Amino acid sequence: MIQLLHKTVMGTLRRLPLPAARLGFRAYNKALRILAPEHLATTYFGARLHCNPQDLIQRMILYFGVWEPDVSCVIEQNLSAGDVFVDIGANIGYDTLLASSRVGATGKVVSIEASPRTFALLQRNLAANPSSSNVRAVNAAVSDRPGTLDLYEINEGNIGAATTLASRGGTLMASVEALPLAEILKPDELARLRLIKMDVEGAEPPILRHLLEQLSRYPATMDIVVEASPDDDFEAWRDVFDRMRAAGFTAWAIENDYELEWYLRWRRPAKLQRVEAMPTRQQDLLFTRRS
């Protein structure tokens, strides 16, 4: 009954004119927050996640059953049964569980989350989904060398904004173990790796450079989805982009937006657009060596 009521409310909001939909959404969000600090959401692919409506990502999953819908479509379309997916910056496990449903019992998902606090939420959500037995969760930061990295909280309303970049001006929340990706993955995971999704809030360039230095260890059919944030260091991102191109990757822009209006009006994914030069603004990119 509760799920049916929720679907009815959200269906109604999505049909309203935007000004009325915004007001209705805020009222509904306030009501749910008063009712309980946390709710169990169901995604469009059937996973269950514990979501706090005060958090940006969890709020969108709770209300719309999806996070970054165009990115979700790319993950779906690029995974098949038996594949290996690596989720770098797994947050509470949305992409992890999406991939888990795609690769099936013969596949594997390696879910990597640096924040100890967020990792506990990830483990809780994995436990709520018995089908996630194909997931191996790792509490570590991916880096270009073994060691320890400081992790900073940027926004209490978005735990996914935690970063190892002190330049973003956050509050120190933890010091975490850091390892190169190839040292986290087991040999069979590395051999069957089909897709990497990387969202580590600006710390991607050194990880990608290190990956390119060891590219021969990875399958030729491996693709990478990454959130590129050139505002942090445009020259570093342009260098990585050019190195990816030189290594045989083509880059494709994935449409994404975090505004409520976009989620209210989203109906289907946009066509990927080929990118020939490093974008000057934040952009989700698919890198592939496949034709």
pLDDT at position 2 is 67
pLDDT at position 165 is 77
DSSP state of 256: -
pLDDT at position 1 is 56
Q: CATH code for 67-288?
A: 3.40.50.150
pLDDT at position 212 is 97
**Digitized pLDDT (tens) for each residue of the chain, 291 residues in all:** 567 888 899 999 999 999 999 999 999 988 888 888 899 999 999 999 999 999 999 999 999 999 999 999 999 999 999 999 999 999 999 999 999 999 999 999 999 999 999 999 999 999 999 999 999 999 999 999 999 988 888 777 777 777 877 788 778 888 889 999 999 999 999 999 999 999 998 789 999 999 999 999 999 999 999 999 998 899 999 999 999 999 999 999 999 999 999 999 999 999 999 999 999 999 999 999 998
Question: What spatial distance separates the first Cα and last Cα of the chain, rounded to whole Å?
Answer: 47
Pairing of strands 250-254, 273-275: antiparallel
Each domain of the chain, given as residue ranges in start order, spans 67-288
Helices (H), 187-269: 187-191, 204-213, 234-246, 260-265
The residue assigned the tokens 């496949």 is 290
Give yes or no for a contact between 136 and 87, defined as CB atoms under 8 angstroms apart.
no
Tokens at residue 274, please? 């080929």
The residue assigned the tokens 């996070």 is 67
Its pTM stands at: 0.94
Give yes or no for a contact between 229 and 257, defined as CB atoms under 8 angstroms apart.
no
